[in-house]
């Protein structure tokens, strides 16, 4: 842990982190893909060669480009073609999240399915990207929204795998008292999965935009930085998915931070963003 981040990390989070046995490490494939991206002669073939060394990663990349969320008509089975479709930036983010999730062991995480959490990250990422694109955000911001969406709940893995007994207590408190996950986490751990995730991605030197979008995805109003479309998009995409799941279980909840959206002048965009999150194609007329 660097001295600077020590100074910036709030005391309860610092105490919590001190109790962690293991934090996931930045996967080496991420650095390899960064090197390809930064090379003058960056090529899809080079990137495809890197991911082809890892069968699990090829499977994930093909799964993503062929998913209904991606909206392709045909079926892609060639990794190079899949990489070309995704683009090197998205590939880098996808490789990062796949390899981070692969560092966790399902048998030690009885509380939830790793695959479901990965899928939730993927859905959030795709929707956050669609929202950022709809708002004509710059390409780098669109990519940051995608990366933050993929990894927004990574702190959940860290908390549940390092502190399983407390995590079980947290789930019980959440159910008994009808609390939101992050409120119950703050009660039991002194910090939330969003705090832990933001900290981790900061340690890996991901952009401030990504770190903030992850750290404040449940409570964007608390973000000290000025408005970012990546944060607004990840917040809405995540809340929309969680609201839809709660609705399916007959327990409707409202998770959108309407004050934040209003403060950013985005309140009138919400219905359209929600439509994007339902997978509806949206007319850009009047935009
Ligand atoms: Fe979350
Ligand atoms: Fe989430």
pLDDT mean over 131-144? 95
pLDDT mean over 87-115? 94
Q: If residue 199 lies in a helix (H) or strand (E), which one and from where to where? A: helix 193-203
Look up the pTM and report it. 0.93
CA of 278 to the centre of ligand 1 (A): 19
Ligand nearest to the backbone CA of 117: 2
In this prediction, residue 1 carries a pLDDT of: 43
pLDDT interval class at 3 (50, 70, 90):
very low
Task: Express each pLDDT in 27-73 by its tens digit.
Answer: 999 999 999 999 988 899 999 999 999 998 999 999 999 988 887 78
Q: Left (φ > 0), alpha (ψ -120 to 50) or beta: where does 87 sit?
A: left
Q: Which chain residues have CB less than 5 Å from ligand 2, an ion?
A: 153, 238
Task: Express each pLDDT in 180-211 by its tens digit.
Answer: 999 999 999 999 999 999 999 999 999 999 99
Distance CA 235, CA 87 (A): 24
In this prediction, residue 80 carries a pLDDT of: 94
CA of 18 to the centre of ligand 1 (A): 22
CA of 263 to the centre of ligand 1 (A): 22
Q: Do both 197 and 93 map to the same domain? A: no
Q: Do both 200 and 217 map to the same domain? A: yes
Instruction: Please give, one letter per residue, the 3-state secondary structure of 196-261.
Output: HHHHHHHHCCCCHHHHHHHHCCCCHHHCCCCCCHHHHHHHHHHHHHHHHHHHHCCCCCCCCCHHHH
CA of 120 to the centre of ligand 1 (A): 10
In this prediction, residue 67 carries a pLDDT of: 87
Q: Do both 186 and 221 map to the same domain? A: yes
CA of 218 to the centre of ligand 1 (A): 6
Distance CA 1, CA 61 (A): 32
In the predicted model, is pLDDT for residue 108 greater than 50? yes
Asked which of 45, 71, 103 is the last residue of a domain, the reply is 103
Q: Do both 77 and 147 map to the same domain? A: no
In the predicted model, is pLDDT for residue 4 greater than 50? no
Q: Do both 148 and 61 map to the same domain? A: no
Ligand nearest to the backbone CA of 217: 1
Contact between 151 and 212 (Cβ < 8 Å): no
CA of 107 to the centre of ligand 1 (A): 22
In the predicted model, is pLDDT for residue 233 greater than 70? yes
In this prediction, residue 5 carries a pLDDT of: 53
Ligand nearest to the backbone CA of 122: 2
Q: Do both 98 and 198 map to the same domain? A: no
Is 266 within the bounds of a domain?
A: yes
CA of 238 to the centre of ligand 2 (A): 5
Place of tokens 């991911």: 51
Extract the tokens encoding 156.
């959940």
pLDDT mean over 122-150? 95
- For the chain, the average pLDDT equals 91
CA of 49 to the centre of ligand 1 (A): 33
Residues spanned by the domain of 37: 25-103
CATH number where 10 lies: 1.10.3210.10
Nearest Cα neighbor of 208 from 192, 193, 224 is: 224
pLDDT interval class at 284 (50, 70, 90):
low
More confident residue, 141 or 70: 141
CA of 152 to the centre of ligand 1 (A): 6
Is 49 within the bounds of a domain?
A: yes
Q: Do both 183 and 76 map to the same domain? A: no
In the predicted model, is pLDDT for residue 135 greater than 80? yes
Ligand nearest to the backbone CA of 193: 1
pLDDT interval class at 74 (50, 70, 90):
confident
In this prediction, residue 6 carries a pLDDT of: 56
Distance CA 98, CA 90 (A): 12
Share of the chain above pLDDT 70, in %: 95
In this prediction, residue 285 carries a pLDDT of: 47
Is 108 within the bounds of a domain?
A: no
């Amino acid at each position: 842990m660097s001295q600077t981040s020590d100074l910036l990390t709030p005391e309860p989070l610092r105490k919590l982190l001190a109790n962690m046995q293991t934090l996931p490490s930045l996967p080496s494939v991420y650095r390899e893909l960064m090197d390809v991206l930064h090379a003058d002669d960056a090529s899809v073939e080079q990137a495809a060669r890197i991911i082809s060394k890892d069968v699990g990663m090829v499977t994930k990349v093909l799964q993503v480009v062929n998913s209904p969320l991606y909206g392709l008509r045909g079926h892609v089975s060639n990794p190079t073609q899949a990489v070309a479709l995704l683009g090197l930036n998205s590939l880098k983010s996808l490789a990062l999240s796949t390899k981070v999730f692969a560092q966790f062991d399902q048998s030690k995480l009885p509380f939830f399915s790793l695959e479901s959490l990965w899928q939730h990250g993927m859905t959030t990422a795709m929707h956050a990207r669609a929202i950022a694109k709809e708002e004509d955000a710059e390409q780098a911001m669109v990519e940051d929204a995608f990366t933050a969406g993929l990894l927004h709940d990574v702190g959940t893995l860290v908390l549940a795998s390092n502190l399983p007994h407390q995590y079980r207590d947290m789930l019980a408190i959440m159910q008994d008292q009808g609390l939101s996950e992050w409120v119950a986490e703050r009660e039991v751990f002194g910090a939330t999965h969003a705090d832990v995730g933001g900290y981790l991605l900061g340690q890996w030197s991901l952009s401030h935009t990504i770190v903030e979008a992850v750290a404040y995805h449940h409570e964007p109003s608390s973000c000290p930085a000025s408005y970012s479309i990546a944060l607004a998009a990840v917040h809405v995409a995540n809340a929309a998915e969680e609201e839809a799941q709660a609705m399916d279980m007959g327990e409707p909840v409202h998770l959108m931070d309407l004050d934040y959206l209003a403060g950013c002048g985005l309140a009138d965009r919400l219905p359209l963003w929600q439509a994007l999150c339902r997978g509806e194609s949206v007319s850009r007329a009047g935009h």
